[in-house]
Amino acid sequence: MIYTTDETNYSDYIHACGSVLGIQDSLTEVTVEFKKKCDNDAGGFCWGDTDEIEIEIATHVQGDPLPSEDIMRHIAHEMIHAQQIITGRLEDVGLQLLQSGDSQTLVNVVIWDGETFTNTPYDEQPWERDAYAREEEIMKEALFNV
């Protein structure tokens, strides 16, 4: 199930992305919320688990309104992350305390396709590379189906 808040002019497009990605009829509750600004001026965020996923989409970056094409690209990108979570390819374990001898270190742990990643730089995250590689295609196909 996919729910949207605000920005209802994107509702049909969001549902089309869900259909293209094969998650429209998932039992996972996906909520898409539009915000004037996301943390760190990001275009969007996606987090959750197989029960519930939350997506935030920015409508502005650095105070300037985003063109609708950019917003739709961000929606497609974050919906790809939702698909990754729903299908079990991506699991954000979160912050974990690792002990090595007498020292402890806090690390962010993510499981991608069964492989564990810790503190992976953004541009090296395979789940991000996957989303960037597919976002344009998903956006075009969803627009075709709206």
Confidence band, pLDDT 50/70/90 cuts, at residue 25: confident
Domains and CATH numbers, the chain: 2-89+122-145 (3.40.390)
Encode pLDDT of 127-146 as tens digits: 999 999 999 999 999 999 88
Average pLDDT of the segment spanning 15-41: 93
**Predicted confidence band of residue 103 (pLDDT cuts 50, 70, 90):** confident
Contact 116, 126 (CB under 8 A): no
Q: DSSP assignment of 65-116, as one string?
A: EPPHHHHHHHHHHHHHHHHHHHTTSEEEEEEEEEEETTEEEEEEEEEETTEE
pLDDT tens column, 32-71: 999 999 999 899 999 999 999 999 999 999 989 999 999 9
